[in-house]
Structure 1
Amino acid sequence: MFISLRRSTATLAAAGLLVTGLVACGSEDEAVSEPGTSGDKQITVYSGRNEQLIKPLLEKFTAQTGITVNARYANTAQLAAQLVEEGDKSPADVFLAQDAGALGTVSKRDMFVTLPSTTTDKAPATYRARNGHWVGVSARARVLVYNADAVTEAELPASVFELTGPAWKGKVGVAPTNASFQAFVTAITVQHGEARAKEFLAGLKANDPQVRDGNGKILEDVIAGTVPVGLVNHYYLGEVAKEQGTTVDALKAKLHFFPGGDTGGLVNVAGVGVLKRAADNPDAQAFVDYLLGPEAQTYFAEQTFEYPVVEGVTGPAGVPALADLQVPDIDLNDLDALESTVALIKESGLVP
């Protein structure tokens, strides 16, 4: 059974992350099932991954294992906030997050179990928690997507920080409520300090950015030519190519991977952690192991066009190999300052 979540609004108070109007589960006439018990062949997963992307994989997991997934979908930051608000009363067994920062936020509250090393060792150390609380299951690069009719390769910026300059005024699509954008801003703080992050956000705001609800809308507008460039994750272009029955190379929209270890080239992970209420639940552990298994890793590469994190699985077509990307020297474990990052973004005026 798959249960959608209505979107809630995450706000910040001085004491930390608060949620006003917690996410409601399901529709008005749809009852939410009681959380399962250990080994009863059902788990509740809070999913910050888009339902359209991840639901087919959850169905594959159920078909292979007989374990029913009660999935609750919402924005990753909202779900992290909800988990913190619910505490040990949360019905969630597993948190499947869009980025490492949200996983780190929940981990800081000591809400996750320590996963067995036989599980976490399937992913490189770069893509897992040092304390074993979470593990990445797929990787994605931050990129600048651009319309080749509007922007030439010679005009592309060498650094993401150039996008606050006059040449890009009114031309840059951003999604400030998206977890990946928030993690990118956190990465600026980690790599360059909070003052630089504030400066970038203020410069972006002053440069008439084209604010959108998500990466998908940014890409749609870039393809249409209404926005010349946008900051997104790399895999969205593969999805569009698949929908149109073509290849990434044949599309008007192109991907610019920032060179030289620029913060704009951050490689983040979608990852998973098991809540303490499911510490002894073999079904929750089976879910994590499945996501790191060959079927799921191949699904990420071929269907969602993300980079698999497990060695031996071929990466997505139409993009550079993960090992060839010039990524910034940032430890994903340090991206756990979700509350302060959201506060910086709100302070900048990019979101109301």
Structure 2
Amino acid sequence: MSHRFIKSLCFLSAMLSIAMIPQVVMALQSSEQKQEPVEIVVYSGRKESLIGPAIAKYMEATGNKVKVKYGSTSGMTALLLEEGDATPASVFIAQDAGALGALAKKDRLHKLPKKITGKVDSRFRSPKDEWVGISGRARAVVYNVNKTSPSEMPVSIRDFTDPKWKGRIGWAPGNGSFQAFVTGMRERDGDEATEAWLRGIMANEPVVYPKNTAIVRAVGAGEVDLGFVNHYYLYRFLNEDSDFPARNHFMPGGDPGSLVNVAGACIPNPDLDEARKAKALEFIEFLLAKDAQSYFANKTYEYPLIKGVDPSVEMIELEKIQTPDMDLSNLDDLQGTLVMLRKVDALP
């Protein structure tokens, strides 16, 4: 091979390398652009103390920024309906499924892919894949172990209208989770039966508390024998004091007293552009990944909803709770429940 030929090859190679520099630079720039952090706007009906750490995990894992607008679930739902397609929100996290159902019935939700909704049992997601649960909250009867026991409990929440329970019950009719439970009872038993149940409980002179935490504290102190609450409040007390004298009882047989509601997520704009939709789906999928689900299980004591993540060690398995079979999307008539609670004088 001649010296001149080798020099020609070297020259051609150099020219090709120079010619390719713009393409290489453009490819690198494109790659950098794809990796630039983006900002996701999330409306949250959940308190920052509950969902904030999970959002922080997402930001740390992806480098993306999340701008969160916090408020009540009912308030955020009303705002989303008012804003319509102009909403800046790419994701809405609701405290309960009823709000998600209300948005779905107004055709405000973007359908989620099966690869996301399929991670969760059909009981805890929209049958039309419009929203998906991210954590579960079971209704329970918390009781003082020195005052009563599961053997004394009736077989149904409906039977706490028996006069034997007079003055022994604590409840929080102004609390959102209780109101969702009443909405579930209306859906399952009908308005007439639910109103009769409320009147029966009122006749037993229940002690009124502002929220679940106060009920559990009162049960532990022996102020009341039992109370109607969400399951996880008890475990916060047990985490501080393993001898706290209260335990949860779950009503059997698909009873409305064992309703498992969910905190859920959706895309609250059916016409969301592709770029924002992709990040919204990534965010929701992260909330259903092991890291976030383990956080819900071990820090907020809620039920994880994906397979492979166990609940906190103190809790019974979700599958063992005989929750009523119903579409949680139908728990959307909060206004009707409030009217009923006022009608029976449970609310002012």
TM-score (norm 1): 0.81
**Distance apart, 1:197 and its partner CA:** 1.3
What secondary structure is seen at the aligned counterpart in 2 of 1:218?
helix
Structure 1 residues 200, 231: closer, same or farther in 2, change over 3 A?
A: same
In the other structure, the counterpart of 1:155 is 152
Q: How does 1:261-272 map to 2 (within 5 A)?
A: 261-272=254-265
Q: What amino acid is the match of 1:273?
A: C
Structure 1 Cα separation of the partners of residues 174 and 88 of structure 2: 25
Task: Identify the residue that residue 345 of structure 2 maps to in structure 1.
Answer: 349
2:179 to 182, 195, 199: 182
Q: In 1, are the aligned partners of 2:232 and 2:302 still within 8 Å (CA)?
A: yes
Amino acid at match of 1:343: V
2: CA distance, partners of 1:314 / 1:193: 35
Counting only pairs closer than 5 Å after superposition, residues 105-184 of structure 1 correspond to structure 2 as: 105-184=102-181
Q: 1:236-292 CA deviation, whole Å, 9 max, x = no partner?
A: 1222222x1x54xx3211101111221101112111111116453133222101111
Q: Is the 8 A contact 1:129 1:333 kept in 2?
A: yes
CA distance in 1, matches of 2:62, 2:167: 50
* 1:332 to 2:325 alignment: no
Give, in whole Å, the separation in 1 of the partners of 2:327 and 2:68: 29
Against the structure 1 CA distance between its residues 241 and 40, is the aligned structure 2 distance closer, same or farther, given a 3 Å change threshold? Answer: same
Maintained 8 Å contact 2:80/2:268: no
For structure 1, which runs of at least 5 residues remain unmatched after alignment? 1-38
Cα deviation 1:3-38 (Å, max 9, x = unaligned): xxxxxxxxxxxxxxxxxxxxxxxxxxxxxxxxxxxx
% same residue: 42
Letter in 1 for 2:322: Q
Q: 1:292 aligns to what?
A: 288
Counterpart code for 2:334: L
What secondary structure sits across from 1:308 in the alignment?
A: coil
Give the whole-Å Cα distance in 2 for the aligned partners of 1:305 and 1:295. 14
Worse-matched range after superposition: 212-221 or 287-296 = 212-221
| Distance in 2 between residues matched to 1:74 and 1:173, nearest whole Å | 27
Instruction: Give 1:167 shift.
Output: 2.0
Matching residue of 1:255: 248
Per-residue CA deviation, residues 296-348 of structure 1 (Å, 9 max, x unaligned), is 11111111112111111112222221112222222323323233223222333
* 8 Å Cα contact 1:278/1:284 also seen in 2: no
Equivalent in the alignment of 1:31: none
Compared CA separation, residues 202 and 81, structure 1 to 2 (3 A): farther
AA partner of residue 56 (structure 1): P
Q: How far does residue 160 in structure 1 lie from its aligned partner after superposition?
A: 0.8
Structure having the higher strand fraction is: 1
* Residues 98, 332 of structure 2: 8 Å contact kept: yes
C-alpha displacement of 1:145: 0.5
1:176-214 Cα distance to aligned partner (Å, 9 max, x none): 233322221122122211111111122223332222222
Secondary structure, counterpart of 1:71 in structure 2: strand
- Per the alignment, residue 102 of structure 1 pairs with 99
Q: Does the CA-based 8 Å contact 1:187-1:335 persist in structure 2?
A: yes
| CA-based RMSD | 2.1
1:210 matched residue in structure 2: 207
User: Is residue 105–residue 338 contact of structure 1 (8 Å, CA) maintained in 2?
Assistant: no
Measure the CA separation in 1 of the matches of 2:69 and 2:216. 26
8 Å CA contact 1:158–1:259 kept in 2: the answer is yes
CA 193–293 in structure 1, closer or farther in 2 if over 3 Å, else same: same
Structure 1 pair 87–208 and aligned structure 2 pair: CA distance change class (3 A): farther
Amino acid in the other structure paired with 1:300: F
Is 1:315 matched up with 2:311?
yes
TM-score under structure 2 normalisation?
0.82
- Closer/same/farther in 2, CA of residues 172 and 64 from structure 1, 3 Å limit: same
Q: Which structure carries more helix by proportion?
A: 2
Q: 1:240 to 1:45 in 2, by over 3 A?
A: farther
Q: Tell me if the contact between 2:123 and 2:326 (Cα under 8 Å) persists in the aligned partners.
A: no
